[in-house]
């Protein structure tokens, strides 16, 4: 398996260790640090327990909300469809797009 080398895993794990939010991922982050929560994989030739199945459903429901938000932003803002910026710089672009999105939907404070 290819490891990710962009430092994001370390930064998120450090935030979780400091009492920050846990990071919810998909199964592609196998072997990630303690601060990450990912669905349980079905064991080869076995079944998941009821607790593992319920946990996977919760993780899936939470991830679905984030995936929907991401899709909405990418659909509305063409600039977000192919992003080649480093993760540290794209945050400002996404924040601006999100502010415009909320303004268009009448969700301003």
Domain parsing of the chain, residue ranges: 78-109
State the DSSP string of 6-48: SSHHHHHHHHHHTT-PPEE--GGGTT--TTEE-PPPPPTTS--
What would the two tokens of residue 34 be? 């303690």
Tokens of residue 37, six digits: 């929560």
- For residue 4, pLDDT beyond 60: no
Question: Is the per-residue pLDDT at 99 higher than 80?
Answer: yes
| pTM confidence score | 0.57
pLDDT band at 2 (very low <50, low <70, confident <90, very high): very low
Exposed (0-12), middle (13-18) or buried (19+): which is 107, by Cβ within 10 Å?
exposed
26-70 pLDDT, tens digit each = 887 777 777 778 888 898 999 999 999 999 999 888 888 888 887
d(CA 90, CA 83): 8
The pLDDT of residue 57 is 92
């Amino acid at each position: 398996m290819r490891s990710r080398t962009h430092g994001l895993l370390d930064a998120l794990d450090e935030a979780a260790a400091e009492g920050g939010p846990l990071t919810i991922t998909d199964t592609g982050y196998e072997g990630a640090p303690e601060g990450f929560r990912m669905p349980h994989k079905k064991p080869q030739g076995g079944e998941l327990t009821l607790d593992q199945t319920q946990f996977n459903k919760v993780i899936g429901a939470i991830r679905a909300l984030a995936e929907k938000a991401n899709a909405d932003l990418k659909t509305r803002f063409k600039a977000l469809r192919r992003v080649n910026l480093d993760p540290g710089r794209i945050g400002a672009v996404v924040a601006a797009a999100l502010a415009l999105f909320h303004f268009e939907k009448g969700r301003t404070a």
